[in-house]
Amino acid sequence: MTRSHHSLQQLDSTDFYIANQLTAEGLDELQRMLLLYRHGLHTALDGPPGVGKTRAIIEVAQILNVPLFTKNCSSRTTESHIISYPSLTVKDGASVTIQISGPLIRALHTPGIFYGDEFNLLKEDVQKRLNSAFDERRAIDRSDGRLIRAKPGFWGVISYNPTQNLAIQDLEDSVADRFVHLQFERWNSDFKAYISACKASNNGRSPEARRHDFGIDLEERGIDPQTLQFYRRVSDQDGSMAWQDFFTGKSISTKPAYTYLSRRTKPLFR
């Protein structure tokens, strides 16, 4: 499920990812999320609506080639929507009760990524009911008493939109403590207009060509999905473009299997 682009100029305007949440060190949101996945650290994406939180986790799931189990949360979402719920079926001529797994159970068992979108909209008791899946216990008990343990590779990701609305709370404290929090900042007006133009245009112009209209400076980055090594494409002394290790600057001879665009930053190495 990984995707590899051929060049900035050849990118289709409807099939691209532009990393835009960069740290002072130049790490983008995909790199940071993959580092957290590698170390088994559950992740909370914190930021206002429309800044790419859901798109980022979809992209990460594609890079890792692992299934993504999503639940869009609201105040009406109950634990049965997320964990499991009973259902009647017929077996050998008799009615029996079975458990239908929700997205969290499926992610624990498969294993895969559980993504709870707008997790802070869940009622406090529902949030706390899920705690055992995201701490050292790595398991949760269903309503029928069966304990479901996480298989290696399970990863929990939630997102929430901080609010000043007194009727809506942020994450419950014990829940927040179980996640590493990544802050997603609002897009500036130029970048927002650029993304909208890329999505709306059907004139065949690539994101690289269109960026000049908005003064957006981009670079090409790469990821090896097997090793989770990071790379960037830079200009050599002779002006040619070459792939280098993101952290060391060491050149590599082959193009990474997955490539994407990012806001340009200075290399970490000298």
Per-residue HEC secondary structure of the chain comes to CCCCCCCCCCCCCCCCCEECCCCCCCCCHHHHHHHHHHCCCCEEEECCCCCCHHHHHHHHHHHHCCCEEEEECCCCCCHHHHCEEEEEEEECCEEEEEEEECHHHHHHHCCCEEEEECHHHCCHHHHHHCHHHHCCCCEEECCCCCEEECCCCCEEEEEECCCCCCCCCCCCHHHHCCCEEEECCCCCHHHHHHHHHHHHCCCCCCHHHHHHHCCCCEEEEEEECCCCEEEEEEECCCCCEEEEECCCCCECCCCCCEEEEEECCCCCCC
* pLDDT tens column, 143-160: 899 999 999 999 999 999
| pTM for this model (two decimals) | 0.86
> Is residue 237 predicted with pLDDT exceeding 60?
yes
* pLDDT tens column, 65-103: 999 999 999 999 999 999 999 888 877 778 778 889 999
Mean pLDDT of 41-62: 96
> Is residue 7 predicted with pLDDT exceeding 50?
no
Beta bridge partners of 139: 149
Token look-up 């990984």 returns 2
> Is residue 211 predicted with pLDDT exceeding 90?
no
- How many Cβ atoms are within 10 Å of 156's Cβ, its own excluded? 24
**In the chain, what are the domains?**
1-20+189-270 (no CATH), 29-186 (3.40.50.300)
- Strands 147-149 and 139-141 turn out to be antiparallel
- Strands 43-46 and 155-160 turn out to be parallel
Question: Residue 67 has which token pair?
Answer: 């299934």
Confidence of residue 267 (pLDDT cuts 50, 70, 90): low
Q: What is the mean pLDDT of the chain?
A: 86
* pLDDT tens column, 8-48: 333 344 467 999 999 999 999 999 999 999 999 999 999 99
